[in-house]
Structure 1
Amino acid sequence: MLKNMLKNKIENYIGKLNISKYIDLDDCFGVEFLAQGEYNINFILKDKVNKYVFRINTKSQLDLKNQIEYEYNAIKRLEESGVTPKVYYVDNSKKYIEYGILIMEYLEGEPLDYKKDLKKAANIFSNIHSIEIKEVDLKNFIVEKNIFTDRIEESKRLLKEFWNSRYIDIKIKLFFEKFLNWCDENKFKEEYFKNNPWKVINNTEVNSHNFIIGKNDYYLIDWEKPVISDPCQDLTQFLAPTTTLWKSNFILNSNEINEFFNHYEKRFKNKDIRERVDMYKPYLYLRALSWCAYAYIEYQNPNKDIKNMDTYNKIKEYLDENFMEKLLKRWI
């Protein structure tokens, strides 16, 4: 398996390069597998005292050649929030390991629990969304100016192989066609966001396992594909059933959602975040379902670098026609 091959390469990599310039790690260190996503594999570097995350990126969801550098620069920029990990080292040369590499802080804690951690999540988002966007950020981050149109174009890109795929049932193709047409016909409503701009750094992958909740501190990790956009992007995704069901099989009720908003809004007086979230919902669902369709086809490739069967089963669940119809009955 790829992770086993990489473990040996990491040991050799640390031995060959003078990584001690960047992190405090003695010669008697160990490498342990930590976790993997769809396009990243994470290991723990540790000695008797210190622990770090050694992160390997296998593919860019943003079609970036400098994917790992983009992630590194984002985490570095976000350190001032106090709710993201510190990052120490990046290597995009692919000279010793054929993938992008970064080393960052190892954080102790557990994934977010929707039943008890909503206030902590609201604090995390408000800390990040309070970072003042500077001119240099507009150059270093992808900036979304047309939040509905961008979702439509993103989905069309994700669905490029979908329409002619023999792995996709015709009923599912017709459903996606209908949904895409609805989104296209209603994209004029994004004028509201243009006329009332509110730009922050968004993570764009805010499922429960991308949070680390410690005894005293809490964090949002996995900054693989951040963008500068309206804060409704992350908040809508965080609250949506396509996210809460992903790792936790949980759906927030109206009281829990209200509790979250009440806490988030303490930092942003007179902001219309609830209205923005409500307007953005169908476009968030378009992104989520289109990614599932894209990933489903990817999973049919026997040469895919990383395969997580839990993810694959959840993808199939989301692409079920009954699930999609129930999710989108308000709009189509």
Structure 2
Amino acid sequence: MLKDTLKCKIKDYIFEKELYFDLKLNKNFNVNFLAQGEYNINFTVDDGNSKYVFRVNTGSQLELNNQIGYEYNALKALEISDVTPKVYFVDSSKMFLEYGVLIMEFLEGRPLEYNKDLKKSAEIFGKIHSIDLENINHEFIMEDNICSDRITEGKRLLKDYLKSPMVHKKLKNFFYKFLEWAEKNKDRERYFTKNKWHVINNTEVNSHNFIIGDKNSYLIDWEKPVVSDPCQDITQFLAPTTTLWKANYVLTKEEIEDFYKAYINNLKNGNKDIKERVHLYNPYLYLRALSWCAYAWLEYQKPNKDIKNMDTYRKIEEYLNIDFLEKLMKEYI
């Protein structure tokens, strides 16, 4: 497997680059597998005193030529928030490992638990969404047209899925109807144009991308951040497509209200109708989540896919069940 091949090469890479000097590692450090997503594999580098995350990037959801450089620069810009990992090294040359490399801070803690940690997550969002963009050097991807962008993204992700003979006709019809609804209702976007509110969004805010520590808590995995309306992150965070993903949890109305109160209290510049923004954006968030599942399902059918996470695959199949889809979208289509 790729993770085993990489584990063997990482120690040689660190010696080749003499990174142990800059990282203050003794030469008897260990490399161990930590976790993997769809486009990244993470390892720990640990000598007993110092510990880092060694992140290997295998692809780009944003279709960027320098995906790992974009993530590194984003994390540098976000350090001011004190709720994201510090980064120490990046290599986008792909010469030694054939993949982009990032070395960052290892953070102690556990994944977020929705029934315990909503106030902590609200504080994290509040700090990130309060960063003054005028003081940011990194050029983040900008998304002004969040409904139109989701339609464009959905069509791109669904292109091959809707043509595939492996996909059931009922599923194809569902997505055709969904795209048609999204096109007819994209004038919702005017609200965001008239009431502009731009912040840095993570865009992947599932429970396992939070590290909850005894003293401090963090939001990690900044693979595809954008500057856009904060409803991108808040809608995704609260949506059942997210809470069910890793935790099999659905938030109650009371929990959602408590989260909103805490989030608003942690915004430096105050609330600008976040609930209305979430209400308008919600179906477009579903379009993003479900069309990505369709795209990923098709990718998993390929025998040469670099990373295969079977827990992810099972959840994708659960979401692509026609009963689940129709229940989720019954308010809209």
Report the equivalent of 1:317.
318
Conserved? CA contact 2:211–2:220, under 8 Å? yes
Conserved? CA contact 2:122–2:266, under 8 Å? no
Q: How does 1:153-168 map to 2 (within 5 A)?
A: 153-168=152-167
Q: How does 1:87-166 map to 2 (within 5 A)?
A: 87-134=87-134, 140-166=139-165
Conserved? CA contact 1:75–1:87, under 8 Å? yes
Superposition deviation, residue 133 in structure 1: 1.0
Question: Is 1:177 paired with 2:179?
Answer: no
Report the equivalent of 1:24.
24
| In 2: Cα distance, 1:160 partner to 1:136 partner | 36
Conserved? CA contact 2:77–2:136, under 8 Å? no
| In 2: Cα distance, 1:3 partner to 1:74 partner | 25
Report the equivalent of 2:281.
280
Report the equivalent of 1:195.
194
Question: Alpha carbons of 1:43 and 1:273: their partners in 2 closer, same or farther (altered >3 Å)?
Answer: same
| In 2: Cα distance, 1:284 partner to 1:234 partner | 10
| In 1: Cα distance, 2:38 partner to 2:259 partner | 29
**Gaps in structure 1 of 5+ consecutive residues:** none
Superposition deviation, residue 237 in structure 1: 0.2
Conserved? CA contact 2:79–2:85, under 8 Å? yes
Superposition deviation, residue 136 in structure 1: 5.7
Q: Which residue identity is paired with 2:214?
A: K
Deviations 1:286-319 (A, max 9, x none): 0000000000000000100000111000000001
| In 2: Cα distance, 1:99 partner to 1:160 partner | 27
| In 2: Cα distance, 1:200 partner to 1:223 partner | 14
| In 2: Cα distance, 1:167 partner to 1:131 partner | 45
Q: How does 1:39-58 map to 2 (within 5 A)?
A: 39-58=39-58
Q: Secondary structure at the match of 1:145?
A: coil
Report the equivalent of 1:14.
14
**Gaps in structure 2 of 5+ consecutive residues:** none
Superposition deviation, residue 21 in structure 1: 4.7
Q: Secondary structure at the match of 1:140?
A: coil
| In 1: Cα distance, 2:136 partner to 2:262 partner | 30
Conserved? CA contact 1:22–1:89, under 8 Å? no
Report the equivalent of 1:231.
230
What is the aligned length?
A: 331
Aligned residues: CA RMSD = 1.0
| In 2: Cα distance, 1:271 partner to 1:46 partner | 44
Question: Alpha carbons of 1:270 and 1:205: their partners in 2 closer, same or farther (altered >3 Å)?
Answer: closer
Conserved? CA contact 1:265–1:271, under 8 Å? no
Conserved? CA contact 2:83–2:219, under 8 Å? yes
Q: How does 1:213-224 map to 2 (within 5 A)?
A: 213-224=212-223
Superposition deviation, residue 153 in structure 1: 0.4
Stretch of structure 1 that moved more, 231-240 or 155-164: 155-164
Superposition deviation, residue 22 in structure 1: 3.3
Q: TM-score, length-normalised on structure 2?
A: 0.98
Deviation beyond 4 Å, 4+ runs, structure 1:
none
Q: How does 1:34-73 map to 2 (within 5 A)?
A: 34-73=34-73
| In 2: Cα distance, 1:266 partner to 1:163 partner | 44
Conserved? CA contact 1:35–1:42, under 8 Å? yes
- Identical-pair percentage: 63
Stretch of structure 1 that moved more, 223-232 or 20-29: 20-29
| In 1: Cα distance, 2:66 partner to 2:135 partner | 21
Conserved? CA contact 1:40–1:57, under 8 Å? yes
| In 2: Cα distance, 1:148 partner to 1:207 partner | 21
Q: Which residue identity is paired with 2:253?
A: S
